[in-house]
Amino acid sequence: MAGVGIRISSPITERPKVACMPLARSKHWLSPYDQMGPQNSSIKVFLSQSAYCRIVMHAGSEMDDEVGGALIGLWCMDRDTEEQFIVVQHMLPAHHTRQGSVYLTFTQDTLVGFHEELEKNFAGKRIVGWYHTHPKMGIFLSHYDTFLHNNFFPEPWQVALVVEPHKSLGGFFVRDLDGGLSPTRYSGFYEMNGNLGREMVEWNNLQATEDDEMEGG
Ligand SMILES: [Zn+2]
């Protein structure tokens, strides 16, 4: 075919990886909002047990100051249903942050650091979102958190996780289908391999579903 134009080198962010949604082995944890009815959300969040443990350890390492970092993993689309989901496999603690008991902020250098580490240690993975702690506060996004999320994590499938280390609470903020983001309504997630008999999630504000999925072959 004639007329093939110059192709601008495109970032890897264009298409999700086609995969099978790992529902059968995962335990579904619901937030109080999830229990009120489904969110108009486009993205399901799957969290590996190792990433969960690392996030909890980092969150508990500073009980007064906020800490945070990047969520690393995959952006996927189920090959049958074409539903989109992300898989959080790793985390990267943030450096170059301005930390204080009231808020944590990422700087441009933080983002540069994430991308450098991603290229070096997690080739082919993406930054699927970020996490930070709210010691002695609740699970919500402040105005500033929303600003950071929209500026540094603008993709529709990028999520924000907030963790409260004292009461052991956690929740994901996921954009809805229109791109809107509620600062109060948070979601639970799917704990990968949590249905295989050793669940690890201990966040007190989340509740596991009763209707266990059938374990596939
Ligand atoms: Zn915050």
**pLDDT score of 10:** 46
Separation between Cα atoms, residue 77 and residue 115, nearest integer Å: 23
Cα(104) to ligand 1 centroid in Å equals 7
Q: If you average pLDDT over residues 182-210, what whole number do you get?
A: 92
Domains of the chain by residue range: 21-208
Residue 115 phi, psi (nearest 5): -70, -35
Separation between Cα atoms, residue 42 and residue 212, nearest integer Å: 22
Cα(114) to ligand 1 centroid in Å equals 19
Query: Does the pLDDT of residue 185 top 90, yes or no?
Result: yes
The closest of 158, 206, 163 to 181, measured between CA atoms, is: 158
What is the pTM assigned to this prediction?
A: 0.89
Cα(131) to ligand 1 centroid in Å equals 9
Kindly report, residue by residue over 8-26, the tens digit of the pLDDT. Answer: 444 555 899 999 999 999 9
Kindly indicate the confidence band of residue 108, based on its pLDDT and cuts at 50, 70 and 90.
confident
Q: Are the beta carbons of 78 and 88 closer than 8 angstroms? A: no
What is the second-level CATH architecture of the domain 21-208? 3-Layer(aba) Sandwich (3.40)
Cα(2) to ligand 1 centroid in Å equals 52
Could you tell me which residue, 212 or 78, shows the higher pLDDT? 78
**pLDDT score of 8:** 47
Cα(8) to ligand 1 centroid in Å equals 37
Cα(215) to ligand 1 centroid in Å equals 37
Cα(103) to ligand 1 centroid in Å equals 6
**pLDDT score of 182:** 95
**pLDDT score of 1:** 42
Cα(66) to ligand 1 centroid in Å equals 8
Residue 53 phi, psi (nearest 5): -60, -40
Kindly report, residue by residue over 56-97, the tens digit of the pLDDT. Answer: 999 999 898 889 999 999 999 999 999 999 999 999 998 766
Strand pairing class (43-47; 84-93):
parallel
Query: Does the pLDDT of residue 199 top 50, yes or no?
Result: yes
Separation between Cα atoms, residue 214 and residue 208, nearest integer Å: 15
Query: Does the pLDDT of residue 42 top 90, yes or no?
Result: no
Q: Are the beta carbons of 157 and 141 closer than 8 angstroms? A: no
Kindly indicate the confidence band of residue 98, based on its pLDDT and cuts at 50, 70 and 90.
low
Cα(145) to ligand 1 centroid in Å equals 5
**pLDDT score of 41:** 76
110-137 burial, b at 16+ Cβ within 10 Å, e below that, comes to bbebbeebbeeebeebbbbbbbbbbbeb
Instruction: Give, for 98, the enclosing helix (H) or strand (E).
Output: strand 98-99
Cα(210) to ligand 1 centroid in Å equals 31
Cα(163) to ligand 1 centroid in Å equals 9
Could you tell me which residue, 107 or 199, shows the higher pLDDT? 199
Q: What single-letter amino acid sits at 179? A: G
Cα(134) to ligand 1 centroid in Å equals 6
Cα(42) to ligand 1 centroid in Å equals 23
Cα(159) to ligand 1 centroid in Å equals 13
- State both tokens at 92: 């990267």
